[in-house]
Amino acid sequence: MLSITSTLISISFTNTDRCGNSKIEIMKKIFLLITFFVAFATVFSQNTTTGDAATSNNKGKHNILIVPFESKMYLSDIDKDIAAKNAMSFQEIKTKFRAALDQNIFIASKAYFNPFSFYTVEPQEAQKELMYIYNSIGYKYEVMPEEEVVKKENIGTKLARKFKKSKRSEDPASGAGTNDGYIKAGVQNGEIVSQVDNREKYMNTKLSNNNLLPTLNKKYQPSYYIFINELDIKRSADKRYVASSEQYQREIKVHYTIFDEEGKEVNSGAIKARFPSGQNDINTIIKTHFPLIAQTIIGKIVGINVAEAK
């Protein structure tokens, strides 16, 4: 692993400020970049119970390219509690969650594919490539096709479980897969009705630059792209968990889109995991839930139910 800190410091002294920014502002930006890429190195230098995330030498397997979520696509209302528990800044929390999610997808995919992560390349190159990608895509809310929750059960046996509701009409608040929660604008019973759509949604990625995939295909030759569109960590909206009690449930929601090399959408949606409000240790949250979420996303490509496979 190259020295990230020395590389960034070198940048600060060799590049001139052409935008008229003060030296203090320049140093602030450099500090944020150092923090960001140190998290890259820290997370990807660690071995986990499922494998080493730093290397991938699966010869003969199809390539996949993992695109982490943009910094602005992180929504959390529990960072204050996590910061207090782990002595971390809000920026450090976001950076660690982002890197850990990418790492777990990398590890989960190694059994089936040859994964590529921008966390494993030179920081300057990674930043350049990701900015090109982010400037070439857009986002759009879509109605959730189904509720999908991963849940840790018996350690070493079932690592994930998929919950499908056959009748989503039982939960009017979600209305996923049905018209429940949706009221079309118009005149009903002689009264003007405004459009109401309370169905649960997820953030989907749309390709706005026609040259994006041809450019990436030429360089990385992937068969699939995994875009992590957004990460939410909030209080669960499930009515079974009452927030007024001391132990309410929190919810991790990972929004994703999978494309093939031609830009055809293979799968998209959001994977959820829930944990109690008293759990604020960031490493425990990551180790308990991120592997299950990652395995479920990979299962969308290989066409397996992770729980049954385990």
Residue 143 vs residues 176, 208, 229, 269: alpha-carbon distances, Å: 6, 20, 15, 9
| Residue 306 tokens, joined | 């992770």
* In-domain check, residue 2: no
Whole-number pLDDT of residue 148: 73
* In-domain check, residue 76: yes
Whole-number pLDDT of residue 13: 37
Whole-number pLDDT of residue 295: 96
191-193 and 196-197 beta bridge pairing: unpaired
Angle at 105 between CA 209 and CA 37, to 5 degrees: 75
Question: Which structural domain, as residue segments, surrounds residue 92?
Answer: 46-165+201-309
Select from 49, 54, 55 the least CA-distant residue to 288.
49
With contact defined as beta carbons under 8 Å apart, do 295 and 108 qualify? yes
* In-domain check, residue 153: yes
With contact defined as beta carbons under 8 Å apart, do 262 and 270 qualify? no
With contact defined as beta carbons under 8 Å apart, do 256 and 294 qualify? no
Whole-number pLDDT of residue 23: 54
Whole-number pLDDT of residue 255: 97
74-76 and 224-235 beta bridge pairing: parallel
* In-domain check, residue 20: no
* In-domain check, residue 51: yes
* In-domain check, residue 230: yes
DSSP structural state of residue 17: -
Q: Which uninterrupted H or E stretch holds 200?
A: none
Q: What is the mean pLDDT of each run of 10 residues along the chain (310 residues)?
A: 41 43 53 49 43 54 96 96 97 98 97 96 95 98 83 47 39 46 56 68 96 97 98 76 62 97 96 94 97 96 61
* In-domain check, residue 8: no
* Alpha carbon distance 54, 277 (integer Å): 32
| Residue 165 tokens, joined | 């509701």
Q: Which uninterrupted H or E stretch holds 176?
A: none
* In-domain check, residue 9: no
The domain total for the chain is 1
